[in-house]
Amino acid sequence: MSVMPHDSAEFSWWNGLPYTLWRAHNAVNRVLHDAIKDLGVTVTQLGLAVHLDQLGALSASDLARGIHVTPQSVATALARLDKLGWVNHQPHPVHGRVVLFTLTERGREGVRDGSARMAEVTDRMTSVLSDGGAETVVRELRRILVELEGSDRPTETLWPIRNP
């Protein structure tokens, strides 16, 4: 029995964009995981730490909204980062029921190390593309993100730190 479609005029699972993106995602995820596994964090956990490093104190819900993952996943990831000593948490200064997370020095060191490893993976990936290919791929993937998620806005805090 053939695994390829019989009628080439029909949708091609094997040559279609969703399947190719899925395969590429899995391959990139494996390479990224291998690159950072000795840091003791997952790609998601490192990504959350990078957001905290770049944006400052954020709540778990801010992070979940910003990277479009479930609040439960973010809570689990932050608990792991807390256990590793990468993050601190404290009540929001204005909205006391909101918990803000910040990076510790250990977390900042992890972000620097993890980011350097991600840069090596990025170099490996972009080295197989033609000139300008990486920029084109990123631009087109962002267009897909906007179409499917409605926005490509950066992570932002829902609860301001200061009263207006």
pLDDT tens track for 21-72: 999 999 999 999 999 999 999 999 999 999 999 999 888 988 998 888 898 9
CB-based contact 161:93 (threshold 8 Å): yes
**Tokens of residue 158, six digits:** 């829902």
pLDDT for res 139: 94
Say yes or no to pLDDT of 2 above 50. no
pLDDT in tens, 144-163: 988 987 766 666 555 555 54
Helices (H), 60-104: 60-67, 71-83
- Share of residues in the chain with pLDDT > 70 (%): 84
Residue 156 forms beta bridges with which residues? none
pLDDT for res 62: 87
DSSP element (H, E) containing 70: none
Which domains does the chain possess? 17-149 (1.10.10.10)
The distance in angstroms from the start CA to the end CA of the chain is 67
Kindly report the pTM of this predicted structure: 0.81
- Share of residues in the chain with pLDDT > 90 (%): 59
Question: 3-class SS at 149?
Answer: helix
Amino acid occupying residue 8 = S
Q: How confident is the model at residue 83 (pLDDT cuts 50, 70, 90)?
A: very high
Q: How confident is the model at residue 164 (pLDDT cuts 50, 70, 90)?
A: very low
Give the C-alpha distances (Å, rounded to integers) separating 159 from 58, 66, 91, 93, 97.
9, 14, 12, 10, 11
The DSSP-derived string for 21-41 is HHHHHHHHHHHHHHHHGGGT-
Q: Which of 91, 93, 110, 109 is nearest to 101 (CA)?
A: 91
Q: Give dist(CA 136, CA 99) in Å, integer.
A: 39
Q: How confident is the model at residue 98 (pLDDT cuts 50, 70, 90)?
A: confident
